[in-house]
Amino acid sequence: MSELPAGVERHAFDGTDRLATRGEPVYGEPTDGEWRAWNPNRSKLGAMLDLEMDTGLAGGETVLYLGAASGTTVSHVADFAGPTYAVEFAARPARDLLEAAESRPRLFPLLKDARKPETYAHIVESDVDVIVQDVATRGQARVALENRRFLADDGRLLLAVKARSEDVTREPAAVFADVREELSEGYEILETERLEAYHADHLGIVARPR
Amino acid sequence: MSKTDGWFADVDRDDPDVMATAVREGSAGEPRDWPALAVEAGFASDENEYYDALREATTEATRAAVTERERADDRQLVHAVRAMDDCSRTANELAERLAEWAGTIDPEAGTGVAYARELARGETDDALEEPVVRSLAARVADLADEADDLRAFVERQTPAVAPNLAALADPVLAARLISLAGGLEELAKKPSGTIQVLGAEDALFAHLRGHAPSPKHGIIYTHDAVRGTHPENRGSAARAVAGKLAIAARVDHYSGELKPELEAELADRVETIQARTADDGGANDE
């Protein structure tokens, strides 16, 4: 069993133990004092932590988050991590992301395309400790490889692969095999686990750069 | 700003606009240790101050970019697509009038907007030197150009306003659906059966009055998946297309994120429907 990062704890909400971080509520989640519940059904990283995958997160890391969407997950990340760069491509969810960033002084929202890292390489620093990736686009392995340039040699890639974004008609298992193979061009895969309990047809991957 | 510089190079800390522009428009081939470089360059006195400035700049930049992208809203699109239709309809009507008139002067006169353009450019017979005829031709050509420009605008704006609709239908059809429904929100709230017959209101009301069969499709007839399907199965294809378009409109209105799987699902479904004609199983539905 792996340890939760500092700043993430299991807290009792209405009698059940749930993951929680300290910060301003973002999406109407239940709170207990300064702690707010982290819903693994709405967050792939939350699911990976809840399933006790060895993410290597300790707390306080510099993070590049690809596919921040409305800021649901990235707000929890910013609660326990250090400087957090949040990249999101769509304007509508980015508006909510801005709101989540308001109370978080080290969360940097960026309206950029994760498939084009050169459009934010002048902002995001090199050697970040962690890349979290949750982008619903075709070519998810390619996105991870393109963004490898930001990751420190001993850093971690925490990737949630959505099979249906690659090809809805194929078996998820076949899609995952392809993603794993392409990913191994630049990464060594440390652990994979299906997130089925929380997210249909998703695979959680922990990897480090080769 | 050169390709190896961070966003903070050449910006004034006191000018939020300049900082935001640097964040939005800059680029670099490789990331570097920007916090340390910024302190070294005297941009910030320490890392903390750098991150404060970075947050201010990224927040400002993202807010501006979001506002700009969202201002490309559905109302603009509705006006543009209606203006486009007005322009091409008027151009065609005038082109007909022009052809009738020109035909009395030159028996070789052509028809349509293409002929009007020729005439406007002066590429036709000298017999048509009559200035008023040529001037009318020029008006027709201008209107047709305007319609083309409006179409280009619609094709450019629709993917920003409704990414999923634009991907599933072509951008002009997507814009027409939004226009017929009266807006993206209105479209998002319509059931797929209504979307299926948008634009076929005459036929629908004739049917409701009881003296016509129900229309199978409205404006979505122009979708390749409907038009490209054998008439016998067109109702099924129209239903499948309308169903996916309804979902796309809701995703576009409520989330705005592009869901590429919608397109694949539709293609898959349409293929199944079209295969019925191929193996002649057309009678069964679903």
pLDDT tens for each residue of A19-47: 999 999 998 999 988 999 999 999 999 99
pLDDT tens for each residue of B77-136: 999 999 999 999 999 999 999 999 888 888 888 888 999 998 888 776 666 677 888 899
Sequence letter at residue B9: A
* Fold (topology level) of B162-278: Serum Albumin; Chain A, Domain 1 (1.10.246)
Whole-angstrom Cα Rg for chain B? 27
CA atoms within 13 A on the CB side of A160: 28
Residue in the block written with tokens 């390749």: B224
- The single-letter DSSP state of residue B1 is -
End-to-end CA distance of chain A: 25
Answer whether A115's CB lies under 8 Å from A139's CB.
yes
Model pLDDT, residue B89: 95
Alpha-carbon A99 to chain mean position: 19
Answer whether B274's CB lies under 8 Å from B228's CB.
yes
- The single-letter DSSP state of residue B107 is T
* A151 vs A56: CA distance, rounded Å: 14
Answer whether A150's CB lies under 8 Å from A126's CB.
yes
The residue of chain A nearest to residue B266, with distances taken between CA atoms, is A168
Query: What whole-number percentage of chain A has pLDDT above 70?
Result: 99
Picking from B29, B69, B265, the nearest residue to A168 by CB comes out as: B265
Picking from B23, B35, B66, the nearest residue to A95 by CB comes out as: B66
The token pair at B56 is 């201010």
Q: Put the strands of the sheet holding A151-162 in their side by side order.
A: A107-111, A84-88, A63-66, A128-133, A151-162, A202-209, A187-194
- The answer to whether the Cβ–Cβ distance between A123 and B51 falls below 8 Å is no
Model pLDDT, residue B1: 46
Distances B274 to A43, A169, B228 between C-alpha atoms, Å: 39, 17, 9
Query: For residue B52, is it left (φ>0), alpha (ψ between -120 and 50) or beta?
Result: alpha
Q: B35 and chain A: CB distance < 8 Å anywhere?
A: yes
**Helices first, then strands: H and E counts in chain B:** 14, 0
- The answer to whether the Cβ–Cβ distance between B30 and A126 falls below 8 Å is yes
Distances A130 to A23, A47, B74, B193 between C-alpha atoms, Å: 21, 17, 38, 47
* A166 vs A116: CA distance, rounded Å: 18
Sequence letter at residue A198: Y
The number of residues in chain A equals 210
How many CB atoms sit inside 10 A of residue B203's CB? 17
Model pLDDT, residue B124: 66
* B49 vs A184: CA distance, rounded Å: 38
Model pLDDT, residue B281: 47
The neighbouring-strand residues paired with A20 are A9, A37
- The answer to whether the Cβ–Cβ distance between A105 and B268 falls below 8 Å is no
- Top-confidence residue, A200 or B279: A200
Model pLDDT, residue B106: 81
Mutation target for B interface from A122, A134, A169: give the one with most B CBs within 10 A: A122
* B67 vs B71: CA distance, rounded Å: 6
Q: Is A203 helix (H, G, I), strand (E, B) or coil?
A: strand
Q: pTM for the whole thing?
A: 0.67
Query: What are the extents of the domains in chain A?
Result: 39-209
The neighbouring-strand residues paired with A63 are A84, A130
* B45 vs B50: CA distance, rounded Å: 8
The token pair at A127 is 């050697």
Residue A171: its H or E element: none
Of the pLDDT bands very low, low, confident and very high (cuts 50, 70, 90), residue A111 is: very high
Answer whether A53's CB lies under 8 Å from A191's CB.
yes
Answer whether A62's CB lies under 8 Å from A82's CB.
yes
- The answer to whether the Cβ–Cβ distance between B260 and A106 falls below 8 Å is no
Picking from A69, A122, A164, the nearest residue to B28 by CB comes out as: A122
Phi, psi values for residue B10, rounded to 5°: 60, 25
Query: What are the extents of the domains in chain B?
Result: 16-70, 74-159, 162-278
Q: Label the pairing between strands A35-37 and A16-22.
A: antiparallel
- The answer to whether the Cβ–Cβ distance between A168 and B27 falls below 8 Å is no
pLDDT tens for each residue of B126-160: 666 778 888 999 999 999 999 999 999 999 989 98
The number of residues in chain B equals 286
Residues of chain A in Cβ contact (below 8 Å) with chain B: 69, 83, 89-95, 97-98, 101, 105-111, 118-119, 121-127, 136-138, 149-150, 164-165, 167-169
* A161 vs A144: CA distance, rounded Å: 10
Q: Label the pairing between strands A128-133 and A63-66.
A: parallel
- Give the residue-averaged pLDDT of A188-192: 96
How many CB atoms sit inside 10 A of residue A116's CB? 13
pLDDT tens for each residue of A41-67: 999 999 999 999 999 999 999 999 999
- Sequence-distant (6+) residues with CB within 8 A of A123 are A85, A108, A110, B6, B7, B23, B26, B34, B54, B58
The class level of CATH for A39-209 reads alpha beta
State the sign of the Cα–Cα–Cα–Cα dihedral B111, B112, B118, B121: positive
What's the complex ipTM? 0.93
Model pLDDT, residue B282: 43
Regions of chain B short of the pLDDT cut 70 = 1-4, 72, 124-128, 278-286
Q: Chain A residues with CB inside 8 Å of B69's CB? A: 91, 111
- The answer to whether the Cβ–Cβ distance between B31 and A150 falls below 8 Å is yes
